[in-house]
Structures are given as C-alpha cells and as structure tokens.
Amino acid sequence: MSTTNSASLNVEATSSAATKASHVVQQSRWFTEEVHPYDGELKAYLRRAYPSVSDVDDVVQESYLRIWKAAARAPIQSARAFLYLVARRVALNLVRKHRNAPFDPYGEIEASRVIDEKPDASESAIVQERIDLLADALMSLPPRCREIVILNKVKGITQREVADRLGISERTVEVHVRTGVARCNTYLREHGFKNYRGDEA
C-alpha cells in the first residue's frame, strides 16, 4: 500500500471516529435534556399504575436503555411519549411474568405479538399496547364474566347466541357484558386509555 493511500485511510478513519464521538455527545445531551427530566414523574406514574412491580427503578433503567438504543437508530420526535410507551411495556411484561393465570386471553385476540420499539414503529406499538392492556383487563374479570365478554365483544357473538350456547338467560348475558365492559373501561382508564376500544385518555 502506498504512503498516499495509507494516509488517506488514516484520515478517513479519524474522520469517522470523530463523527461517531460527536453523535454520542449529541445523543447524551438530548438524553439529559429531553428524557431524564421525566425521571421522577415516570417513577411516580409506574408506582401508581403498576403497584405489583416491586422495583420501579429497574423498570426505568431498562426503559432508558431501550430508548437510548432506539434514538441511536433514528430521531425520536416526542421523548416523553416514547419513554412512557416503553416503560409501560417493560412494566406489563414484568406483571405478566409473575402472574399465574389458568386462562390466557391473549390467544383470543387476533393481533401480532411482535413489537419493534423503533420511533417509526411507535404507532403500531401503541396499538399493540392497547391490545395487551385489554387482555390484562379481561384477565382481571371473574371467569364467567370474562368468558361472556370475550364471546360477545371479542368474538362478536350476539348476546342471544351467547345465552343459547351457555344455557343461561339473555338478561344474564347482558348483565355480565355490562359489568365486564365497565370493569375493563376502569382498568384501561387507570393505564392511560379511555375505554376498551383503545382511545387514548
């Protein structure tokens, strides 16, 4: 290799290293200014919304790591919104990991389980989060009520058909549906959405 070519490669390597270093500095500044100021607010929210999560600090640190990696791939337009989205997913994963339930409503909901936590995938992640929260809300219902709500609201079976299938009165089905939907709505509102359709609060 000639001296000229060697010098050219050294210059390019030095320039590339300088560019990477500059990017890290800029990202660190962005993180300090746009993400970390929400630290206390986020921890308070997680303690209120997910009381069963014992170590909120771990959730927050994991969320910071994920948002740092995401920001390295592409710019994040709303740091606070994306931080909360990621933190809720981390917390929900912990809740489900430690919950032993005989019934799994996730299989009843036709939706992708794959989430790509990139800024340009944040909308699909929000949709998936709504589905996850709905599944958790359904899981919190009494077994009979949950079964009826899933048949009527998730599978789209009419109340009369549900009554015939289960051998109960249509009035009983109506009461269970009304009660179940109300309880699901309360659960979703507590986690940032208006109702079981997934509208944001």
For residue 163, the model assigns a pLDDT of 95
pLDDT tens for the chain, residues 1 to 201: 555 555 555 545 555 555 556 667 787 888 888 888 989 999 998 888 888 888 898 899 988 888 888 877 777 878 888 888 888 888 888 877 765 444 444 444 433 333 444 444 445 555 566 667 777 788 888 989 988 998 888 778 899 999 999 999 999 999 999 999 999 888 877 776 655 544 444
Q: Which amino acid is at 96?
A: R
Indicate the fold that domain 12-100 takes in CATH: Rna Polymerase Sigma Factor; Chain: A (1.10.1740)
Measured distance between the N- and C-terminal CA atoms of the chain, rounded to whole angstroms: 64
CA atoms within 13 A on the CB side of 11: 6
Place of tokens 């430690």: 98
Q: Which residues pair with 200 in a beta bridge?
A: 193
Ranges of each domain in the chain: 12-100
